């Protein structure tokens, strides 16, 4: 009888333990938001990065570091390092800004309606730190038909290893 009791205790313990592990791995999946005050952003970004990422600025066309960039790798958010776009989806849209026909993962890039400057556009922001990246348009190539038009300043590049 005592043996049986020990055994059932072990089973309960194992069940509890595995339940806990499952919960923890689910927690890891939820994206950790990066939240900073304007002042904190000002100290960790260059003035140019701050103007584009935090004040919805746009760099001049054909001037950006990654407009003609063709290396294989991942483009990450300049504000927080979140993986955003793969070089596999980059193409030359002729617009003067880096263009991608898809995001690396839909959960990493947020979209919202932008009606500034008398235009109706869809703004794209980093899902992790809410930094402004650029806009997404519906005149992209197949298979998505989308054109994620992104400021080079909003991106950092991590070459494929």
Q: Which residues bind Zn ion (CB under 5 A)?
A: 77, 79-80, 82, 126, 128-129, 131
Cβ 68 to Zn ion, closest distance in Å? Answer: 24
CB atoms within 10 A of CB 156: 17
Q: State the catalytic residue, choosing from 77, 80, 129, 149.
A: 149
Measure CA 160 to chain center: 17
C-alpha dihedral, 77 to 95 to 112 to 50, nearest 10°: 40
Tell me phi and psi for residue 39, to 5 degrees: -65, -45
- Closest distance to Zn ion from the beta carbon of 109 (Å): 10
> Has 149 been annotated as catalytic?
yes
Q: Which residues are catalytic?
A: 149
């Amino acid at each position: 009888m005592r043996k049986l009791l020990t055994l059932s205790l072990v089973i309960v313990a194992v069940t509890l333990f595995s339940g806990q592990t499952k919960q923890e791995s689910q927690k890891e999946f939820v994206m950790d938001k990066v939240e900073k005050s304007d002042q904190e952003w000002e100290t960790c970004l260059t003035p140019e990065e701050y103007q584009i990422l935090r004040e919805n600025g746009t760099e001049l066309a054909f001037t950006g570091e990654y407009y003609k960039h063709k290396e294989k790798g991942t483009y990450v958010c300049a504000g927080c390092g979140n993986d955003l776009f793969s070089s596999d989806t980059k193409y030359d849209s002729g617009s003067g800004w880096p263009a991608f026909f898809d995001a690396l993962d839909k959960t990493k890039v947020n979209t919202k309606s932008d009606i500034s400057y008398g235009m109706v556009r869809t703004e794209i922001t980093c899902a992790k730190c809410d930094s402004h990246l650029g806009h997404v348009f519906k005149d992209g190539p197949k298979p998505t038909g989308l054109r994620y038009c992104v400021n080079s300043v909003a991106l950092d590049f991590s070459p494929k290893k």
